């Protein structure tokens, strides 16, 4: 019995090694994923975009501001003089946080009264917001310690997070998870479509029918598109009703975004299905794409903290755009003007992948 088992194990190894695509799947993906995860998957927040709204130009206020400017956790990118500009910067995600120092700050410090500053945080990414809040509190504590020998009151900070005031992680996770679950199901359905027929021997029968490559492509695209569209809406409804995630945006914008996103996912799935010869290769191809795509999506780790080359790769990833749209529509009431920069790249990815899949089908028919 053990000899038969050993022979079977040896045979499986030989079959995997003789298949060139299987060799590539065994060797290349682990190396690529190792580099991506090691470089991009980090929960540290550094060089976060900080805005300053300083209404007090006296020395104590400038000393506090200089501590924020010198911190590696923050990078000052803008200065404001009115609340409307602060709101626009947070809405458009130009800044991750805004430090507000009121007009009476230095006078309160000098008079020994409680002095207050405000830190406005973008709560759509609750994990990053909590980390930035802890960094800011550390800076405030160092400010207090430096002035401990002086007869002044201790500085108190009152943070306020926009869009997710209680830092509920479900508000951060579930809008993004809606995107990941949708693309996983869509890719599997699409990638297995042609590979299954080729493995069962029915693909040759499909080729001898009067159907044109575009007709075959449409027939493979529509079912997966409908399933992905319905699944995304079901997950979104469950997230709102079951877990209390707010949905304050436009239902129309959400469905338009999902339709474009699913179309790009179907294009990727059809390319995988056209290249794969068996269902096993199709499944491996799906997870070969999904593993790095999830890391480079910004779902768990900020894209701004990734290396430059990893940030460049995210522009080829439709999940990156849909995660941003989903969180913005759920929590922020994202307007169409701010959604458009995320919509057209997904549409472009869909056009390119569907065109390439059509060309692959045409080659099969020749």
Encode pLDDT of 251-275 as tens digits.
999 999 999 999 999 899 888 888 8
d(CA 348, CA 354): 10
d(CA 216, CA 233): 27
For range 74-87, the mean pLDDT: 92
> Where residue 245 falls among pLDDT bands split at 50, 70, 90?
confident
Encoding tokens for residue 143?
């400010």
Report the candidate in 237, 259, 235, 267 with the shortest Cα–Cα distance to residue 349: 267
Q: What share of the chain is helix, strand, coil (3-state, %, to 5)?
A: 70, 10, 20
Q: Are residues 203 and 283 in contact, defined by beta-carbon separation less than 8 angstroms?
A: no
pLDDT of 151 reads 47
For range 131-153, the mean pLDDT: 77
Query: pLDDT exceeding 70 applies to what percent of the chain?
Result: 79
- For residue 25, pLDDT over 80 is answered with no
pLDDT of 29 reads 57
Transcribe 35-82 into DSSP letters.
HHHHHH------SEEEEEEE---SHHHHHHHHHHHH-TTEEEEEE-SS
Encode pLDDT of 205-218 as tens digits.
666 666 666 776 77
Encode pLDDT of 162-174 as tens digits.
887 776 777 888 8
> Where residue 19 falls among pLDDT bands split at 50, 70, 90?
low
d(CA 270, CA 282): 10
HSE-CB at 146 with a 13 A cutoff on CA atoms is 11
- For residue 149, pLDDT over 80 is answered with no
For range 342-348, the mean pLDDT: 95
For range 123-143, the mean pLDDT: 85
- For residue 38, pLDDT over 50 is answered with no
pLDDT of 317 reads 93
The full set of domains in the chain, from first to last, is: 48-162 (3.40.1710.10), 169-365 (no CATH)
Q: Which long-range contacts (CB under 8 A, 24 or more apart) does 86-92 make?
A: 86/51, 86/53, 86/120, 89/51, 90/120, 90/122, 90/162, 91/332, 91/338, 92/338
For range 118-146, the mean pLDDT: 86
Output the CA–CA distances (angstroms, integers) from residue 3 to 11, 12, 13, in the order listed.
12, 14, 15
User: ∠ CA 129-133-138 to the nearest 5 degrees?
Assistant: 150
For range 58-66, the mean pLDDT: 90
């Amino acid at each position: 019995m053990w000899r038969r088992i050993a022979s079977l194990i040896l045979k499986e190894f030989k079959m995997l090694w003789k298949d060139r695509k299987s060799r590539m799947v065994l060797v290349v993906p682990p190396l690529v994923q190792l580099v991506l995860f090691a470089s991009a998957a980090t929960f540290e927040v550094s060089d976060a975009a900080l805005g300053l709204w300083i209404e007090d130009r006296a020395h104590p206020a400038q000393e506090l501001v200089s501590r924020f400017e010198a911190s590696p956790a923050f990078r000052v990118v803008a200065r404001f003089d009115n609340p409307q500009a602060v709101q626009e910067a947070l809405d458009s995600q130009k800044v991750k946080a805004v430090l507000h120092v009121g007009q009476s700050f230095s006078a309160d410090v000098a008079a020994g009264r409680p002095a207050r500053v405000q830190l406005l945080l973008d709560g759509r990414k609750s994990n990053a917001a909590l980390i930035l809040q802890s960094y800011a509190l550390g800076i405030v504590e160092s400010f207090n310690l430096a002035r401990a020998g002086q007869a002044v009151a201790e500085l108190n900070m009152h943070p306020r997070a926009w869009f997710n005031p209680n830092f509920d992680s479900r508000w951060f996770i579930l809008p993004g998870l809606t995107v990941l679950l949708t693309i996983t199901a869509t890719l599997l359905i699409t990638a297995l479509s042609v590979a299954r027929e080729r493995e069962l021997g029915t693909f040759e029968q499909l080729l001898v029918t009067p159907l044109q490559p575009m007709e075959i492509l449409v027939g493979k695209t529509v079912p997966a598109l409908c399933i992905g569209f319905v699944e995304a809406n079901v997950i979104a409804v469950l997230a709102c009703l079951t877990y209390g995630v707010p949905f304050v945006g436009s239902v129309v914008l959400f469905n338009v975004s999902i339709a474009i996103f699913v179309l790009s996912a179907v294009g990727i799935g059809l390319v995988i299905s056209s290249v794969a010869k068996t269902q096993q290769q199709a499944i491996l191809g799906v997870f070969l794409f999904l593993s790095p795509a999830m890391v480079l999506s910004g779902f768990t780790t900020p894209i701004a903290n990734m290396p430059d080359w990893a940030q460049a790769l995210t522009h080829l990833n439709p999940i990156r755009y849909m995660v941003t749209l989903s969180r913005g529509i759920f929590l922020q009431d994202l307007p169409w003007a701010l959604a458009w920069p995320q919509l057209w790249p997904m549409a472009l990815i869909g056009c390119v992948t569907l065109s390439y899949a059509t060309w692959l089908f045409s080659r099969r028919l020749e």
